[in-house]
Structure 1
């Protein structure tokens, strides 16, 4: 049971990304169907698909961190090998995590300010603060995954053989 929970928590971004992408496809299909077949436009599908797409991008950024698929400059990587490379990669991950925490903090401030003014979305009538909340949530999730990678790298538990680096 513990292994199943562990597996689920380690892959939650993938499950959420699949769910968001599937719902994005369904929403776009509904919009096309109603607009061109029934000659009637659903305003809420366009707005909801925009919010789903934004959430998909931010959550998938965390998935990219897990897979080591973020864009990086590899000039230094070609010259540094072994333990020094491991230390440099750990410093880069921790620096990136600190930046994500910093941006997440200001994302929370913007979310709270938006919740205070009770601004709502045009078609759905949702509080805009909850829509903005995906930014700090995902940035803290990215920071958590970066710290997790740094820990696994320092304890020699990070499997870097399946990490995608460069273009194939």
Structure 2
């Protein structure tokens, strides 16, 4: 069951990343259209910058999980070479749990913020007067899925460790090797 959940979450993270990418592309088209209309016809659509800001925030949150599954989050691993290799899985798991814990703090704070936004009917202080819950809810969902993914990956890594599959743990939560990084860039 854990494997099915893991595979499903990984696939979902890919689709969420594509959705976030589509938001970025659409906002780029919107901003480009805005620039051309201003330059050629001295007309503004208004709000292109606001919408693109919301799109960027939502797209980023939606892509966090995929980066976690791909081991693409930035790490400071300068000391990892000085630590015995037998401790690497524990250090990597600790790093994953700390990252997930930090994301959980963000989720709790954002949950309260979205609740306040809904209770107060808050809107942006721009001419568009966007109900702030519209960008905040998908942003929150991206963070919630990130926390879920972090916990799921940690559980799978712990299971791999207890099964004695240290290579599996490395492939799941370890720092990518130089060869893996090169392969990612050439594909």
The TM-score range, normalised by the shorter chain, is: 0.7 to 0.9
Tell me the TM-score normalised to structure 2 length.
0.73
Runs (4 or more) in structure 1 with deviation over 4 Å come to: 160-168
Give the Cα separation in 2 of the matches to 1:46 and 1:101. Answer: 29
CA RMSD of aligned residues (A): 2.9
The one of 50, 53, 61 aligned to 1:50: 53
Structure 2 gaps of 5+ residues are 183-187
Deviations, residues 128-151 of structure 1 (Å, cap 9, x unaligned): 133223443222222122223223
Q: Distance in 2 between matches of 1:163 and 1:92?
A: 11
Output the TM-score relative to the length of structure 1: 0.80
**Aligned-partner SS, 1:78:** helix
Check the 8 A contact 1:65/1:146 in 2, yes or no.
yes
1:76 counterpart residue number: 79
* Structure 1 unaligned spans of 5+: none
- Tell me if the contact between 1:111 and 1:130 (Cα under 8 Å) persists in the aligned partners: no
Question: 1:10, CA displacement in angstroms?
Answer: 4.5
Q: Is 1:65 aligned to 2:75, yes or no?
A: no
Question: Which is richer in helix?
Answer: 2
Shift of 1:163: 6.2
Aligned pair count? 165
